[in-house]
Amino acid sequence: MVEEKDTYSEEYGDRLEKMMGSFSARMLHVENLMNDIMSRHFCSGDGKRGTLFFSVITPQMSFRNKIDTLINMLRIHYKDIYKTYDSDLRKLHEIAQYRNDLVHLMLAVSKQVHKNDVDSAQIHKSEKGKSAIGEIDKKEHERKVRLCTKLTTILKTIQTDIIGRSYRSDLSDDSQ
């Protein structure tokens, strides 16, 4: 007796893997940049404390909590950076929601994806306690990937600015 392969799972998995792959790497880079920026702020000048913050504290924080912490940190301590990038930084919440949508998509395999050739999928999610059906299509997915790339560039600029400020602060402390 020959065992039949579960082609449904393989085909669906391939499509989902393509969607996740193009987004996940960028999203992880965004998250690492947020971790590094917060680490440099809260532990500037102390490599051991920075490593501790990065490796022990940030893994305990949810992605949404990291976003809120980063935005509040910039709003309070780096007002000029916050004013420059506020509207872009708020889009980090959009990335967090899309990440959650993709996870729900992985958990709720939709036969619709398998049956049609369109690169879209229905997702079943809960919004404010109510069940909702959304759709992820290729165009929206590509927009989210581009948004991730844009946010990576912005976070890299913020990171560079904060590193520079920390370095200048350390130099002025040494000269006193």
What is the C-alpha separation between 97 and 92, in angstroms, rounded?
9
Which pLDDT score, from 0 to 100, does residue 6 have? 43
Q: H-helix or E-strand containing 130?
A: strand 130-137
Which pLDDT score, from 0 to 100, does residue 60 have? 83
Q: Taking each helix axis from N to C terminus, what angle separates 79-90 and 138-174, rounded to the nearest 10 degrees? A: 170
Asked, for residue 1, whether it belongs to a domain, the answer is no
Asked, for residue 176, whether it belongs to a domain, the answer is no
Which pLDDT score, from 0 to 100, does residue 101 have? 80
Least confident of 17-31, 43-57, 65-79: 43-57
pLDDT (mean) for 58-63: 84
User: Domain range holding 105?
Assistant: 7-171
Token pair recorded at residue 121: 């999928």
Radius of gyration, alpha carbons of the chain? 20
Q: What is the pLDDT of residues 4-48, one digit of tens each?
A: 444 445 665 666 666 677 788 888 889 989 988 988 887 766 667
Asked, for residue 80, whether it belongs to a domain, the answer is yes
Please choose, from the candidates 9, 33, 32, the residue with its C-alpha nearest in 3D space to the C-alpha of residue 109: 9
Q: What is the pLDDT of residues 90-121, one digit of tens each?
A: 999 999 988 888 776 665 544 444 455 445 55
Q: Could you tell me the sign of the dihedral formed by the alpha carbons of 15, 18, 20, 23, in that order?
A: negative
Q: What is the pLDDT of residues 127-151, one digit of tens each?
A: 565 655 666 677 888 888 899 999 9
Which pLDDT score, from 0 to 100, does residue 175 have? 61
Q: What is the mean pLDDT of the chain?
A: 76
Number of domains in the chain: 1
Helix-, strand-, coil-residue percentages of the chain, each rounded to 5: 75, 10, 15
Buried b (16+ CB within 10 A) or exposed e, 79-99: eebbebbeeebebbeebbebb
pTM of the model: 0.70
Asked, for residue 2, whether it belongs to a domain, the answer is no
C-alpha distances (whole Å) from 56 to each of 52, 66, 139, 161 are 5, 14, 37, 25
pLDDT tier, 69 (very low <50, low <70, confident <90, very high otherwise): very high
